[in-house]
Amino acid sequence: MKALSQKRRHPLAALALLVMGLMLTGGLYAVVTTVNQAKADTTTYTAQEVQEGEKLFIANCATCHGLGANGTDAGPSLAGVGAAAVDFQVGTGRMPMQMQGPQARQKPKQFTTSQTREMAAYVATLGDGPALPEEQYIDGGGDAAVGGELFRVNCAMCHNAAAAGGALTRGKFAPPLAGVSSSHIYSAMVTGPQNMPVFNDTNITPEGKRDIITFLNTIENQGAPGGAQLGSLGPVSEGLFLWTVVLGVIIGFTIWLTSRTS
Protein backbone atom coordinates (compact mmCIF):
# COMPACT_ATOMS: atom_id res chain seq x y z
CA MET A 1 0.00 0.00 0.00
CA LYS A 2 2.86 2.35 0.81
CA ALA A 3 4.52 1.70 -2.57
CA LEU A 4 1.22 2.29 -4.41
CA SER A 5 0.73 5.57 -2.55
CA GLN A 6 4.21 6.70 -3.54
CA LYS A 7 3.51 5.94 -7.19
CA ARG A 8 0.32 8.05 -7.08
CA ARG A 9 2.39 10.97 -5.80
CA HIS A 10 4.93 10.57 -8.60
CA PRO A 11 5.42 13.84 -10.59
CA LEU A 12 4.51 12.12 -13.85
CA ALA A 13 1.25 10.66 -12.52
CA ALA A 14 -0.82 13.73 -13.46
CA LEU A 15 0.70 13.78 -16.95
CA ALA A 16 -0.06 10.09 -17.44
CA LEU A 17 -3.69 10.60 -16.39
CA LEU A 18 -4.01 13.57 -18.77
CA VAL A 19 -2.64 11.55 -21.70
CA MET A 20 -5.01 8.66 -20.92
CA GLY A 21 -7.98 11.06 -20.77
CA LEU A 22 -7.09 12.66 -24.09
CA MET A 23 -6.69 9.25 -25.75
CA LEU A 24 -10.07 8.12 -24.41
CA THR A 25 -11.80 11.32 -25.55
CA GLY A 26 -10.20 11.12 -29.00
CA GLY A 27 -11.22 7.50 -29.40
CA LEU A 28 -14.83 8.22 -28.48
CA TYR A 29 -14.93 11.19 -30.89
CA ALA A 30 -13.57 9.05 -33.71
CA VAL A 31 -16.24 6.42 -33.09
CA VAL A 32 -19.05 8.98 -33.05
CA THR A 33 -17.76 10.69 -36.22
CA THR A 34 -17.54 7.35 -38.01
CA VAL A 35 -21.11 6.53 -37.01
CA ASN A 36 -22.37 9.90 -38.28
CA GLN A 37 -20.59 9.49 -41.62
CA ALA A 38 -21.81 5.93 -42.03
CA LYS A 39 -25.36 7.07 -41.31
CA ALA A 40 -25.14 9.77 -44.00
CA ASP A 41 -23.73 7.28 -46.50
CA THR A 42 -26.16 4.44 -45.96
CA THR A 43 -29.49 5.94 -44.96
CA THR A 44 -29.76 9.05 -47.18
CA TYR A 45 -27.36 8.71 -50.09
CA THR A 46 -25.78 5.88 -52.01
CA ALA A 47 -22.03 5.32 -52.16
CA GLN A 48 -22.19 6.07 -55.89
CA GLU A 49 -23.73 9.48 -55.22
CA VAL A 50 -21.01 10.30 -52.70
CA GLN A 51 -18.26 9.29 -55.14
CA GLU A 52 -19.74 11.30 -58.01
CA GLY A 53 -20.27 14.25 -55.69
CA GLU A 54 -16.63 14.19 -54.63
CA LYS A 55 -15.54 14.25 -58.29
CA LEU A 56 -17.79 17.23 -59.00
CA PHE A 57 -16.53 19.00 -55.88
CA ILE A 58 -12.86 18.54 -56.80
CA ALA A 59 -13.48 19.78 -60.34
CA ASN A 60 -15.61 22.80 -59.47
CA CYS A 61 -15.26 23.78 -55.79
CA ALA A 62 -11.85 22.70 -54.50
CA THR A 63 -10.12 25.81 -55.88
CA CYS A 64 -11.74 27.91 -53.15
CA HIS A 65 -12.73 25.36 -50.51
CA GLY A 66 -9.69 23.06 -50.73
CA LEU A 67 -9.34 19.48 -51.90
CA GLY A 68 -10.70 18.09 -48.64
CA ALA A 69 -13.17 20.96 -48.22
CA ASN A 70 -11.04 22.16 -45.30
CA GLY A 71 -11.21 25.75 -46.51
CA THR A 72 -8.67 28.22 -47.92
CA ASP A 73 -8.16 31.97 -47.87
CA ALA A 74 -10.72 32.16 -50.69
CA GLY A 75 -13.45 29.99 -49.14
CA PRO A 76 -14.50 28.55 -45.76
CA SER A 77 -14.39 24.95 -44.60
CA LEU A 78 -17.50 22.95 -45.46
CA ALA A 79 -17.21 20.45 -42.61
CA GLY A 80 -20.53 20.40 -40.80
CA VAL A 81 -22.46 22.71 -43.13
CA GLY A 82 -24.66 19.80 -44.19
CA ALA A 83 -26.46 18.88 -47.38
CA ALA A 84 -28.95 21.72 -46.94
CA ALA A 85 -26.21 24.32 -47.51
CA VAL A 86 -25.34 22.73 -50.86
CA ASP A 87 -29.02 22.53 -51.76
CA PHE A 88 -29.38 26.28 -51.28
CA GLN A 89 -26.04 27.63 -52.49
CA VAL A 90 -25.62 25.41 -55.56
CA GLY A 91 -29.33 24.94 -56.26
CA THR A 92 -29.91 28.71 -56.54
CA GLY A 93 -26.80 29.31 -58.64
CA ARG A 94 -24.99 31.30 -55.96
CA MET A 95 -22.17 28.77 -55.99
CA PRO A 96 -19.75 28.60 -57.64
CA MET A 97 -19.43 32.38 -57.22
CA GLN A 98 -19.10 34.43 -60.40
CA MET A 99 -16.84 36.95 -58.65
CA GLN A 100 -15.73 37.94 -55.19
CA GLY A 101 -17.99 40.50 -53.52
CA PRO A 102 -19.90 41.37 -50.35
CA GLN A 103 -22.12 38.33 -50.88
CA ALA A 104 -22.81 35.65 -53.45
CA ARG A 105 -25.37 36.77 -56.02
CA GLN A 106 -28.00 34.52 -57.52
CA LYS A 107 -27.46 33.52 -61.14
CA PRO A 108 -28.57 30.68 -63.44
CA LYS A 109 -27.56 27.40 -61.80
CA GLN A 110 -24.71 25.47 -63.38
CA PHE A 111 -25.60 21.96 -62.21
CA THR A 112 -28.57 19.69 -62.65
CA THR A 113 -30.73 18.59 -59.73
CA SER A 114 -29.03 15.18 -59.63
CA GLN A 115 -25.55 16.74 -59.68
CA THR A 116 -26.51 19.09 -56.86
CA ARG A 117 -27.75 16.11 -54.86
CA GLU A 118 -24.46 14.26 -55.47
CA MET A 119 -22.42 17.20 -54.19
CA ALA A 120 -24.77 17.45 -51.21
CA ALA A 121 -24.16 13.75 -50.54
CA TYR A 122 -20.40 14.29 -50.48
CA VAL A 123 -20.56 17.35 -48.22
CA ALA A 124 -22.91 15.48 -45.86
CA THR A 125 -20.14 12.94 -45.20
CA LEU A 126 -17.74 15.66 -44.01
CA GLY A 127 -19.61 16.17 -40.75
CA ASP A 128 -23.02 16.21 -39.17
CA GLY A 129 -25.05 19.21 -40.41
CA PRO A 130 -28.54 20.26 -41.56
CA ALA A 131 -30.03 17.69 -43.92
CA LEU A 132 -32.34 18.28 -46.86
CA PRO A 133 -35.86 19.19 -45.71
CA GLU A 134 -38.45 16.47 -45.42
CA GLU A 135 -41.28 16.67 -47.94
CA GLN A 136 -43.93 17.13 -45.24
CA TYR A 137 -42.42 20.48 -44.22
CA ILE A 138 -42.26 22.02 -47.70
CA ASP A 139 -45.65 20.97 -49.05
CA GLY A 140 -47.22 24.40 -48.42
CA GLY A 141 -49.94 22.92 -46.23
CA GLY A 142 -49.21 24.90 -43.07
CA ASP A 143 -51.07 27.74 -41.40
CA ALA A 144 -50.51 30.95 -43.37
CA ALA A 145 -51.73 33.18 -40.51
CA VAL A 146 -49.26 31.68 -38.05
CA GLY A 147 -46.55 31.78 -40.71
CA GLY A 148 -47.23 35.46 -41.34
CA GLU A 149 -46.77 36.24 -37.65
CA LEU A 150 -43.53 34.25 -37.49
CA PHE A 151 -42.26 35.94 -40.64
CA ARG A 152 -42.98 39.46 -39.36
CA VAL A 153 -41.26 38.72 -36.04
CA ASN A 154 -38.17 36.95 -37.43
CA CYS A 155 -37.71 37.91 -41.09
CA ALA A 156 -39.50 41.13 -42.05
CA MET A 157 -36.82 43.45 -40.64
CA CYS A 158 -34.53 42.35 -43.50
CA HIS A 159 -36.77 40.86 -46.18
CA ASN A 160 -39.60 43.43 -45.82
CA ALA A 161 -43.09 42.59 -44.54
CA ALA A 162 -44.13 41.72 -48.10
CA ALA A 163 -40.97 39.62 -48.67
CA ALA A 164 -39.79 42.13 -51.29
CA GLY A 165 -36.23 42.22 -49.95
CA GLY A 166 -34.21 45.12 -48.62
CA ALA A 167 -30.79 46.74 -48.40
CA LEU A 168 -28.30 45.90 -45.65
CA THR A 169 -24.91 47.41 -44.81
CA ARG A 170 -21.65 47.39 -46.79
CA GLY A 171 -23.24 46.53 -50.13
CA LYS A 172 -25.15 43.53 -48.81
CA PHE A 173 -28.86 42.92 -49.18
CA ALA A 174 -31.70 40.59 -48.28
CA PRO A 175 -33.10 39.22 -51.55
CA PRO A 176 -36.79 39.14 -52.49
CA LEU A 177 -38.43 35.79 -51.80
CA ALA A 178 -40.87 35.65 -54.72
CA GLY A 179 -40.14 32.70 -56.98
CA VAL A 180 -37.89 30.94 -54.45
CA SER A 181 -38.70 27.24 -54.08
CA SER A 182 -40.00 25.91 -50.77
CA SER A 183 -36.97 23.63 -50.45
CA HIS A 184 -34.54 26.52 -50.80
CA ILE A 185 -36.48 28.67 -48.32
CA TYR A 186 -36.31 25.87 -45.73
CA SER A 187 -32.62 25.23 -46.44
CA ALA A 188 -31.85 28.93 -46.03
CA MET A 189 -33.56 29.02 -42.64
CA VAL A 190 -31.57 26.09 -41.24
CA THR A 191 -28.18 27.07 -42.71
CA GLY A 192 -28.18 30.89 -42.51
CA PRO A 193 -26.51 31.85 -45.82
CA GLN A 194 -24.76 35.21 -46.28
CA ASN A 195 -25.86 37.53 -43.43
CA MET A 196 -28.96 35.55 -42.53
CA PRO A 197 -29.08 34.08 -39.00
CA VAL A 198 -29.54 30.35 -38.49
CA PHE A 199 -33.06 29.38 -37.41
CA ASN A 200 -32.62 25.92 -35.95
CA ASP A 201 -35.44 23.81 -34.60
CA THR A 202 -35.14 25.51 -31.22
CA ASN A 203 -35.66 28.98 -32.71
CA ILE A 204 -38.38 27.98 -35.17
CA THR A 205 -39.78 24.45 -35.17
CA PRO A 206 -40.08 22.51 -38.45
CA GLU A 207 -43.83 23.09 -38.26
CA GLY A 208 -43.19 26.82 -37.87
CA LYS A 209 -40.93 26.80 -40.92
CA ARG A 210 -43.72 25.05 -42.82
CA ASP A 211 -46.11 27.82 -41.76
CA ILE A 212 -43.68 30.51 -42.99
CA ILE A 213 -43.33 28.78 -46.35
CA THR A 214 -47.13 28.58 -46.62
CA PHE A 215 -47.40 32.31 -45.85
CA LEU A 216 -44.83 33.19 -48.52
CA ASN A 217 -46.60 31.01 -51.09
CA THR A 218 -49.91 32.64 -50.19
CA ILE A 219 -48.79 36.26 -50.61
CA GLU A 220 -47.01 35.37 -53.86
CA ASN A 221 -50.08 33.68 -55.34
CA GLN A 222 -52.55 36.39 -54.35
CA GLY A 223 -50.70 39.08 -56.29
CA ALA A 224 -51.24 42.78 -55.57
CA PRO A 225 -54.99 43.43 -55.17
CA GLY A 226 -54.29 47.02 -54.07
CA GLY A 227 -53.00 48.19 -57.46
CA ALA A 228 -49.42 49.33 -58.13
CA GLN A 229 -47.01 47.69 -55.71
CA LEU A 230 -44.50 50.58 -55.66
CA GLY A 231 -41.80 48.12 -54.71
CA SER A 232 -43.85 46.82 -51.76
CA LEU A 233 -41.85 49.16 -49.53
CA GLY A 234 -44.86 50.45 -47.59
CA PRO A 235 -45.26 54.08 -46.51
CA VAL A 236 -41.76 55.07 -47.72
CA SER A 237 -42.46 54.51 -51.40
CA GLU A 238 -46.08 55.66 -51.07
CA GLY A 239 -45.05 58.92 -49.40
CA LEU A 240 -42.36 59.51 -52.01
CA PHE A 241 -44.93 58.95 -54.75
CA LEU A 242 -47.27 61.53 -53.21
CA TRP A 243 -44.55 64.13 -52.82
CA THR A 244 -43.05 63.76 -56.29
CA VAL A 245 -46.08 63.00 -58.47
CA VAL A 246 -49.26 64.23 -56.80
CA LEU A 247 -47.71 67.38 -55.37
CA GLY A 248 -46.04 68.03 -58.72
CA VAL A 249 -49.41 67.78 -60.47
CA ILE A 250 -50.96 70.23 -57.98
CA ILE A 251 -48.12 72.74 -58.47
CA GLY A 252 -48.38 72.41 -62.23
CA PHE A 253 -52.14 72.90 -62.14
CA THR A 254 -51.70 75.99 -59.95
CA ILE A 255 -49.20 77.48 -62.37
CA TRP A 256 -51.56 76.80 -65.27
CA LEU A 257 -54.46 78.54 -63.48
CA THR A 258 -52.40 81.63 -62.68
CA SER A 259 -51.15 81.86 -66.27
CA ARG A 260 -54.75 81.74 -67.53
CA THR A 261 -55.91 84.60 -65.29
CA SER A 262 -53.06 86.83 -66.33
Phi-psi region of 188 (alpha: psi -120 to 50; beta: other; left: phi over 0): alpha
Domains and CATH numbers, the chain: 23-132 (1.10.760.10), 133-224 (1.10.760.10)
Do the beta carbons of residue 218 and residue 224 sit within 8 Å? no
Taking only Cα atoms into account, the Rg of the chain, rounded to an integer number of angstroms, comes to: 27
CA distances from 209 to 184, 220, 241 (A): 12, 17, 35
Q: What is the DSSP string of 143-168?
A: -HHHHHHHHHHHTHHHH-TTS--EE-
Q: Which residues contact 204 (CB under 8 A, 6 or more apart)?
A: 150, 154, 189, 212
- Residue 29 marked as a ligand binder: no
Sign of the alpha-carbon dihedral angle for 157, 159, 87, 134: positive
Of the candidates 36, 250, 202, which has an alpha carbon nearest to the alpha carbon of residue 131? 36
In which band, very low, low, confident or very high, does the pLDDT at 13 lie, cut at 50, 70 and 90?
A: low
Strands (E), the chain: 166-167, 173-174
For the chain, how far is it from start to end, CA to CA, in angstroms? 121
- Residue 10 marked as a ligand binder: no
Hey, is 199 helix, strand or coil? coil
Hey, is 167 helix, strand or coil? strand
Q: Within a 13 Å sphere around the CA of 133, how many CA atoms are in the beta-carbon half?
A: 27
- Residue 41 marked as a ligand binder: no
Please write the tens of the pLDDT for every residue from 95-114.
998 888 888 889 999 999 99
Distance CA 142, CA 96 (A): 33
Please write the tens of the pLDDT for every residue from 150-208.
999 999 999 988 898 988 888 899 999 999 999 999 999 999 998 899 999 999 999 99
- Residue 53 marked as a ligand binder: no
On average, the pLDDT of the chain sits at 84
- Residue 64 marked as a ligand binder: yes
Poorest-pLDDT segment among 49-63, 109-123, 184-198, 230-244: 230-244
Which DSSP state fits 259? H
Distance CA 104, CA 93 (A): 9
Distance CA 262, CA 253 (A): 15
- Residue 235 marked as a ligand binder: no
Higher-confidence position of 162 and 31: 162
pTM, full prediction: 0.70
